[in-house]
């Protein structure tokens, strides 16, 4: 049977240093994991997000997508649509703004019209475009609103 020997101060000091290093490593790992979740990049969401809440033609919005999405992020924009008689189709030009329409029947005529090209999430990782006629004009990606005087 072995005889018990009192640990020396040198042995106790070595064990204490070992435990201190283990504690330091555990704390550093905890800080690293916590920082990852606390400061994760919000510009890379897990799903499609629309800053204007969806189909909102009076507010310019932008779309953020997951990094693995097939589309690229984008934002709502104003477009001037003109009818090309030769091709028999509408052509769209991105513009910063366009004036109110003077055409009273823009949806049914071939006269130029001002529209907003609205981006709307349609699944967790993609979006679609929706166009809306802006009778009062469009400015910086949103239909202008005319407030009625009471």
Give the contacts of 115 (CB within 8 A, at least 6 positions apart).
Answer: 78, 79, 80, 81, 92, 131, 132, 133, 134, 138
| b/e per residue 118-138 (b: at least 16 CB within 10 A) | bbbbeeebebeebeebbbebb
Q: How confident is the model at residue 109 (pLDDT cuts 50, 70, 90)?
A: confident
pTM of the model: 0.63
Residue 47 has pLDDT above 60, yes or no: yes
pLDDT top residue among 17 and 5: 17
User: Rg (Cα) of the chain, in Å, rounded?
Assistant: 31
pLDDT for 80 equals 92
Same domain assignment for residues 29 and 66: no
Same domain assignment for residues 88 and 135: yes
The boundaries of the domain holding residue 27 are 10-40
In a domain, 53, yes or no: yes
Same domain assignment for residues 92 and 125: yes
In a domain, 2, yes or no: no
Number of domains present in the structure of the chain = 2
């Amino acid at each position: 049977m072995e005889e018990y020997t009192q640990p020396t101060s040198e042995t106790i000091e070595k064990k204490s240093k070992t435990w201190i290093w283990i504690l330091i490593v555990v704390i550093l790992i905890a800080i690293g994991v916590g920082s990852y979740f606390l400061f994760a990049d919000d510009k890379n969401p897990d799903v499609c997000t629309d800053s204007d809440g969806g189909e909102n033609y009076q507010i310019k919005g932008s779309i953020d997508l997951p990094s693995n999405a097939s589309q690229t992020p984008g934002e709502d924009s104003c477009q001037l649509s003109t009818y090309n008689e030769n091709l028999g189709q509408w052509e769209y030009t991105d513009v910063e703004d366009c004036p109110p329409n003077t055409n009273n029947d823009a949806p049914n005529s071939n006269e130029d019209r001002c529209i907003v090209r609205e981006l709307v999430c349609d699944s967790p990782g993609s979006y679609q475009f929706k166009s809306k006629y802006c009778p009062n004009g469009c400015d910086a990606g949103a239909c202008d609103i005319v407030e009625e005087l009471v």
